[in-house]
A and B are shown apart, each in its own frame.
Chain A
Amino acid sequence: MDTNLIIALKSSDGESALSRIVSQFSAYVRTVLRNFSNGSLNADDLDELCSDVFFNLWLHRADLNENVGLKPYLSISAKNAVKNRLRAKKPPTEDVDELDFPSDLSIEKTAELNDMMRQLQIAFQTLSDSERELFLRYFFYGEKTADIARVMGLNENTARSKLSRVRGKLKDFLIKRGYDHV
């Protein structure tokens, strides 16, 4: 559970917790950065953006929700870090912007992010296991549908259509709960 790490991060010994988080999650963050950047970042860029992601986490540590876990925060922060870096270039991942709801979701807007995560947790209960995995891999990990299809044993077109349906379900769910800018 990440709960202990988040609590420790908020404590007076937060620097030690941050160091532990770097050890535990740097590979994950680098993976997400690589995926969302479509492999366009070199090692130095990845390290720099990685530090940006952890620094962002540090800056907003007081508002992190222990029940959400660290990976959603790190994923969203990593995705935004890539977007900022590649803003002037072609979007790094196929139709990734379409899966942002709301599109300006960021760790800087922690209250909104926490509420969104809470709503997503509820919405996830309406999805099947494979739908959850599909969404998680695409939205949080930034994996390509071809990779997702391969690891889940699906045809790529099937993965795409399932992803589209999942997105529709979640979008409807969130719109009913006041997220009108999805």
Chain B
Amino acid sequence: MFDELFEKCIPVNEEKTSPESDEKIRKILAEKINTPLQIKEDKLMKHISISKTIISAAAVAALGALSMVGASADNISDITYKSADGKDLGAVAYQFSSDNAIISDVGTVDIGAGTITIDGETQPISVNKLVDGVVINYVADGTDPGNTVLQINSDDVTNVTTKGIELGSMKYNEDGLGGYTLTNADGEVINVTVNADGSTDINAEINYLYYEF
């Protein structure tokens, strides 16, 4: 709600953006955090370039295998999301580590009554889903890639419960069905993305998950 409200209300006499001033601010900030601040445009461009290579769902399906064999040298692949009725929901470029964990992604996929947001090197995915009037947020903890917090909120944004899930990692499943699995310290497994068998997890609208090489 805040986002929408801020978007609607433009400040009176808002200052103009000043690249010179921004550079000065960046310089001060860089000294304070002791790290140069640069936008990695090359990385973003690479993702944009790769997204142009998306092929049809039928062709992807024809590829069959969901293993990472044949991945590009930098392990970047597109994942195409399909709705249960076959509608193309969009695609996002991912970078995988050598053990197939997602390590770098930028993008948002609309899943109807929610979104999957992918951004950041160590924060691979967050899921916002509306189920029976309850907003469920999976938010990976950026300060600890192995930790994910499951937030369950009612539709009036009142927090009902928050559950910390200690994870070894957030892995892409290679069981031939796709999807992501979160495992907590008690061995409890939660599927973030529904597999192709149409199971009724929180992402029930995402029944197919493909990627190409």
Interface assignment of A4: CB less than 8 Å from any CB of chain B: yes
Contact A69 B120 (CB under 8 A): no
Contact B40 A27 (CB under 8 A): no
Mark contacts of B139-169 with chain A using CB atoms, 8 A cut-off: 1 yes-contact digit, 0 otherwise.
Answer: 1111100000000000011110000000000
Contact A50 B2 (CB under 8 A): no
Contact A7 B38 (CB under 8 A): no
Q: Interface segment, B23-31, B48-56, B64-72, B180-188?
A: B23-31
* Distance A1 CA – B106 CA, assembled complex (angstroms): 13
Interface assignment of A19: CB less than 8 Å from any CB of chain B: yes
* Distance A69 CA – B16 CA, assembled complex (angstroms): 21
A22: chain B residues within 8 A (beta carbon)? 22, 25-26, 29, 37
Interface assignment of A15: CB less than 8 Å from any CB of chain B: yes
A149 → chain B, closest Cβ, in Å?
Answer: 10
B12: chain A residues within 8 A (beta carbon)? 137, 141, 143, 147-148, 150-151
Q: Interface segment, B3-11, B170-178, B200-208?
A: B3-11
* Distance A14 CA – B40 CA, assembled complex (angstroms): 11
Contact B13 A31 (CB under 8 A): yes
Q: Interface segment, A104-112, A120-128, A154-162?
A: A120-128
B33: chain A residues within 8 A (beta carbon)? 15, 18, 55, 58
* Distance A46 CA – B24 CA, assembled complex (angstroms): 11
Number of interface residues of B (CB under 8 A): 49
Chain A interface SS verdict (over half)? helix
* Distance A145 CA – B32 CA, assembled complex (angstroms): 36
A72: chain B residues within 8 A (beta carbon)? 2
A148: chain B residues within 8 A (beta carbon)? 12
Docked complex: A19-72 residues within 8 A CB-CB of B: 19-20, 22-23, 26-28, 30-32, 34-35, 43, 46-48, 50-51, 54-55, 58, 61-62, 66-69, 71-72
Contact of B11 among A14, A17, A20, A28 (CB under 8 A): A28
Which 6 residue pairs across A and B have the least CB separation, nearest first? A10-B142, A11-B120, A51-B28, A19-B37, A30-B15, A4-B119
Residues of chain A having any CB pair with chain B under 8 Å: 1-4, 7-20, 22-23, 26-28, 30-32, 34-35, 43, 46-48, 50-51, 54-55, 58, 61-62, 66-69, 71-72, 117-118, 121-122, 124-125, 132-133, 136-137, 140-141, 143, 147-148, 150-151
